[in-house]
């Protein structure tokens, strides 16, 4: 099964944007973005195993192996200029994929990271993935995720919670391997009321690149991407086409 979904192919596009979702997310999280992007940008969203049309596949259990698989799936599509965007867990995965691409001599035009602390920052959060169901759902609610309403139904919990927990385990088990900063420029996006990462913490992504860095702060919580979708896409488009 393919790791990438392109809902609206644009054969004439000069740039491809690869998007990586938050823990528990799927490719549909970015479906509405395509119509907001300029015609020169074609969007591809990652679809991880264990959800949506990959529901029956084994859940990812190692960030490095996951990054290897996603990198391999992207290679045939890197025949034109491209950039990566990742939110929360997706930011870490996009960063690790960028490291692998640079090791192959392939550099994205830009790496956009959103709602995430820099990978080298110490991880001092509790093991949320080990919480019981009620406490786990409450933590998702604290972050502002839209899944909370769905998870109020017991039957849906049995379907959704396993892959959401698996994604949280990926993040909790992740350890950054020291190495040189990227050559790829980085743009960090963060919201002003995110309980996971502050704007000051988001700025530490600057240490992960030897190239250009920018920080943009949006209003909202951890899932500010939903109500601020148009502004986020506009900022990315401005950066990519400017």
Domain locations along the chain: 4-119+178-241
pLDDT score at 62: 96
For this structure, is 40 an active site residue? no
Give Cβ neighbours of residue 108 (< 8 Å, ≥ 6 apart): 82, 83, 84, 98, 101, 184
Per-residue pLDDT in tens (0 to 9) along the chain, 242 residues: 689 999 999 999 999 999 999 998 999 999 999 999 999 999 999 999 999 999 999 999 999 999 999 999 999 999 999 999 999 999 999 999 999 999 999 999 999 999 999 999 877 667 888 888 888 888 888 777 656 667 777 777 888 889 999 999 999 999 999 999 999 999 999 999 999 999 999 999 999 999 999 999 999 999 999 999 999 999 999 999 87
How far apart CA 41 and CA 38 sit, in angstroms, is 6
Please give the pLDDT value at position 124: 67
How many whole angstroms from its chain centre is CA 25? 9
pLDDT of residue 83: 98
Catalytic (active site) residue 222: yes
pTM given for the model: 0.94
How, if at all, do strands 41-46 and 4-5 pair?
A: antiparallel
Catalytic residue among 22, 44, 87, 222: 222
Is 201:125 a contact under the CB 8 Å cutoff?
no
Distances from the Cα of 132 to the Cαs of 59, 136, 137, 193, in angstroms? Answer: 19, 6, 9, 26
Class of domain 4-119+178-241: alpha beta
Please give the torsion angle defined by the CA atoms of residues 11, 17, 22 and 28, in that order, rounded to the nearest 10 degrees.
-20
Q: What's the DSSP call for residue 60?
A: P
Catalytic choice (34, 88, 187, 191): 88
pLDDT of residue 2: 86
């Amino acid at each position: 099964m393919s790791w990438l979904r392109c809902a609206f192919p644009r054969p004439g596009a000069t740039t491809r944007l690869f998007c990586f979702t938050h823990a528990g997310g799927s490719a549909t999280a970015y479906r509405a973005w395509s119509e907001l992007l300029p015609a020169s940008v074609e969007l591809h969203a990652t679809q991880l195993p264990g959800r949506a049309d990959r529901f029956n596949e084994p859940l990812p259990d190692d960030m490095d192996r996951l990054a290897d698989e996603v990198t391999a799936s992207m290679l045939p599509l890197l025949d034109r200029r491209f950039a990566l965007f990742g939110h929360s867990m997706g930011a870490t995965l996009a960063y690790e994929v960028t490291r692998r691409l640079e090791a192959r001599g392939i550099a994205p035009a830009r790496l956009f990271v959103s709602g995430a602390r820099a990978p080298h920052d110490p991880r001092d959060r509790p093991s949320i993935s080990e919480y019981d169901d009620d406490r786990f759902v409450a933590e998702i609610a604290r972050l502002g995720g839209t899944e909370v309403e769905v998870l109020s139904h017991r039957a849906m919990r049995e379907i959704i919670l396993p892959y959401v927990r698996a994604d949280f385990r990926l993040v909790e088990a992740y350890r950054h391997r020291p190495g040189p900063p990227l050559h790829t420029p980085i743009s960090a996006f963060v919201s002003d009321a995110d309980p996971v990462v502050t704007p000051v913490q988001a700025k530490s992504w600057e240490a992960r690149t030897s190239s250009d860095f920018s920080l943009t702060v949006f209003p909202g919580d951890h899932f500010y991407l939903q109500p601020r979708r148009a502004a986020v896409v506009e900022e990315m488009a401005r950066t990519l086409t400017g």
